[in-house]
Amino acid sequence: MAAREPKIPYYEQVANTLIEQLEAGTAPWQKPWEPGTINLPHNPVSGTRYKGSNAMWLEMQGRGDPRWMTYKQAQGVGAQVRRGEKGTLVQYWKFNDQVPVKDERGKPVKDAEGNKVYRSVQLDKPKVFSAVVFNAEQIEGLPTLEVKPPNWDRHERAESVLQASGVEIRHDQADRAFYRPATDRIHLPPKGQFDSADKYLATALHELAHASGHPKRLDRDLAHPFGSEGYAKEELRAEIASLMIGDQLGIGHDPGQHAAYVKSWVKVLKEDPREILRASRDADKITAYVMDLEKELAPSTIEKLPQVERQSTPDVARKALAEARRTLKGPTASDRER
């Protein structure tokens, strides 16, 4: 089914709904999720895990089933969207294109098998593609959603990610958890003070999301004092990323202390609705970087998720991972406290 461009831009629809949910305390990352229960939106037909603002937008629809697909995809698997059901718009941005490599005479370069060789080029202006998808709850003829219990190896996987990051963790706080950019260290309370191993790991990975912004990793600006707009923007990125990481590792999500940020988030989104797109895109990079740490350390421990494609790692994450092997003095910046 072809998607028509809405009268209200997509990013404004997402931002407006998110503002309402933030004020009500029902945004996706404001809610606690038990281990194995997040299951963010995915397309079981194409094998795609929705990312960025699309993942948040579909999650904000409040459906109990994480499966989404187009009208034609539903028909293709022998199912049917119920009459009168309204679809949900998603958008995709293409920032690069593949063009054929040419030699000095202007002729296409071919490989040993005679196939054209292509290279990636950045587009001057990103191309935007839209689609309308329907939730499994709106479709008849689909198999019942299979709910799997939490994986027992989720703690080992999460610990492996923290170890592979190379970020030092000190358990020297009474009741605070934060990342300090100047020393490139994460500070947490002792493990025994957490209600469960999942909550401890969720908190540690949240701080690792902040640590990914260090110059030797993904290089985000972390030099913002607590209470500032820049601080709130970074926290928004870390929260979205934490939800996605918790989904992929199966440890759930601990919302932490959101009261201090809600007003700032609402203010930022009202002034610039496009910020949700930028924040979601950065959260994707954080998630890819963190999950790539697991792949680098122990590929055999990665959970295989049937019919759902794991997020590809952007070049920036790969390069940052290589750079993380080098030593670099941390910048002077405020602590990133949860």
Write out pLDDT tens, residues 253-300: 988 766 678 999 999 999 999 999 999 999 999 999 999 998 876 544
What pLDDT is stored for residue 332 in this prediction? 35
Phi-psi region of 36 (alpha: psi -120 to 50; beta: other; left: phi over 0): left
| Beta pairing class for 178-180 and 185-187 | antiparallel
pLDDT for the residue numbered 95: 80
> Which pLDDT score is estimated for 152?
74
Per-residue pLDDT, 75:
98
Q: Are 48 and 42 a contacting pair, CB within 8 Å?
A: yes
pLDDT for the residue 254: 84
pLDDT tier for residue 37 given thresholds of 50, 70 and 90: confident
CB 208 within 8 Å of CB 165: yes
User: pLDDT of 121-175, one tens digit each?
Assistant: 888 888 889 999 999 999 999 999 988 777 779 999 999 999 999 999 999 999 9
Is pLDDT of 327 > 50?
Answer: no
Per-residue pLDDT band at 233 (split at 50, 70, 90): very high
* Interatomic CA distance for residues 82 and 318, integer angstroms: 43
pLDDT of residue 198: 94
Reading phi first (left if > 0) and then psi (alpha if -120 to 50, else beta), residue 326 is in beta
pLDDT value at residue 149: 79
| Per-range mean pLDDT, top range of 226-230, 252-256, 307-311, 328-332 | 226-230
Q: Summarize pLDDT for 192-230 with one digit per residue, the tens.
A: 999 999 999 999 999 999 999 999 999 999 999 988 999
Dihedral sign of CA atoms 59, 27, 88, 135 in order: positive
Which pLDDT value is given to residue 318? 46
Residue 95 φ then ψ, to 5°: -100, -20
What was the pLDDT predicted at 6? Answer: 55
pLDDT tens per residue across span 74-124:
999 999 999 999 999 999 888 888 889 998 988 999 999 989 999 998 888
The residue among 334 and 39 whose pLDDT is bigger is 39
Give me the DSSP letters along 229-272: HHHHHHHHHHHHHHHHHHHHHT--B-----HHHHHHHHHHHHH-
pTM (two decimals): 0.79
List phi, psi (to 5°) of 311: -65, 135
